[in-house]
Amino acid sequence: MRDFDNDDGHMLFGGMRAEAIAERFGTPVYVTDENILRENYRRIYNAFSKHMDTRVHYACKANSSLAILRILEQEGSGIDAVSVGEVMTSMKAGFPASRILFTGNNVSTAELRTVADLGVPINIDSASELERLAGIDTKIPISIRVTPDVGSGHSEKVVTGAKGSKFGIPADLVVETYGRALELGFRPFGIHAHTGSGGQTPEPLMDVVSVLADMTNAIKDEHGLDLEVIDMGGGMGVPYRPNEREMDIEELASAVTDIILDETSVRTVALEPGRYLVCDTTVLLTRCHDVRYTGTKNYIGVDAGFNTLIRPAFYGSYHHVAVANKFNRAGEGKYDVVGPICESGDHIARDRALPAPEEGDLIAVYNCGAYSFSMSSTYNSRPRCREVLVNNGVAELIRDSETIEDLWRHQMIPKRLS
């Protein structure tokens, strides 16, 4: 887990006191450090590209804020998009269609048509999708997503590659599906799999590349088709807890590219990191408004609930928390950090050793760059919060908070009820 500097008891983030950022922009607020984002991109791209031609397709479901996308576009990234919304948002941020790969799941023919019309390459997810796309356009570049029968992930909710998964072509049907694609007039350029998200060990990612290498060779033997790209998906883990080990990206890149270069004639590897690029770039700053001692539990009541950060409530995920204005002060008791949502599952953190809290304290929640703002909601009619980008001590607003009026914007009351 990435930790932050301490300036005389105050947490520093991106060269600024976290308290100064919270005072200026209000809370709750997501704050991203641009330098960390750029470093993360360069680290993973360089690890792979020193071995072979590499395409990084950022899985923008993790965080699709325009400023974040802009930075990754500048770095040379591509995009893994799962919806027309993600495709168009990426294009708005400056990505050309050719650097986006659309990997939908159970998408409608209308959505496929829109994506094809935008000229975005499509990663086929099912036999049905292949037949439906053939009715639209067979000249569009395609790859095919397979179920590798290798799964990984921090929760069963995010394992995608295991046998029987709803994602991809079942392993035993892959070779014949490439045959069908050729028969329909497509010329697939690649093969793709994604094991799942948030696993902490590299082994499943190495295993999946072995499976894809074998399939690539079987496709070549059967159909004489030389694939150009093996796409290993995302799932590169990030440590969320203090002292948790980082995934060794250098070792992963070396192992994966060895498999591809030694066992196949493919010369381009693609990867789709989401969490790895953005997770540790961002903290959520949330203000303590309420402190209560119940006899059995001590609560720090803050202004971010599971409307703002759903991962702890939804997956039971651990996010490290610290008191930014009592930074690195020893814990004086155990506290649950809870939000304003009217459900008892509204937890940000449980049983954490923290300095004695007071109303007005500022709580920093770590590792909130991935699947955090992008999964936030307006539940309990609480408008979504702001996002701020920090660059070497300069903070800028990149998304304003929604207003109460925004909550009503797309609603109407039938005349007869007025």
Please give the Cα distance from 74 to 61 (Å, whole number). Answer: 19
Q: Dig out the tokens for 168 from the structure.
A: 């991809």
- Choice between 101 and 227, CB closer to ligand LLP: 101
Check residue 325 and report its DSSP letter.
G
User: Which CB atom, from 27 or from 152, has the smaller least distance to ligand LLP?
Assistant: 152
Which two three-digit tokens encode residue 210? 């072995």
Instruction: Answer for the pair 205, 161: CB distance below 8 angstroms, yes or no.
Output: no
Residue whose tokens read 């209308």: 110
The smaller minimum CB distance to ligand LLP, of residues 207 and 361, is found at 207
Tokens of 11: 């947490």
Shortest distance in whole angstroms from residue 155 CB to ligand LLP: 7
Q: How far is the CB of 335 from ligand LLP (least distance, A)?
A: 24
CB of 273 to ligand LLP, least distance (A): 5
Name the residues that contact ligand LLP, by CB under 6 A: 59, 62, 80, 103, 158, 160, 194, 197-198, 233-236, 272-276, 311, 370-371
Minimum distance from residue 11 beta carbon to ligand LLP (Å): 24
Q: How many helices (H) and strands (E) does the chain have?
A: 12, 20
Place of tokens 């990191």: 273
Closest CB to ligand LLP among residues 326, 347:
347
Residue in 288, 342, 368, 385 annotated catalytic? 342
Q: HSE (CB half, 13 Å, CA atoms) of 32? A: 29
In the complex, least distance from residue 2 CB atom to ligand LLP, rounded to whole angstroms = 17
Judge whether 106 and 132 are in contact, CB under 8 Å: no
User: What span, in angstroms and rounded, lies between the C-alpha atoms of 110 and 248?
Assistant: 41
d(CA 108, CA 368): 32
Query: HSE on the CB side for 189, CA within 13 Å?
Result: 15
Q: Which residues contact 29 (CB under 8 A, 6 or more apart)?
A: 21, 22, 284, 285, 385, 386, 387, 388
Nearest to ligand LLP of 204, 357 (CB atom): 204
Q: Minimal distance in Å, beta carbon 7 to ligand LLP?
A: 31
Nearer to ligand LLP, 153 or 340 (CB): 153
**342 part of the active site:** yes
Which residues are catalytic, by number? 342
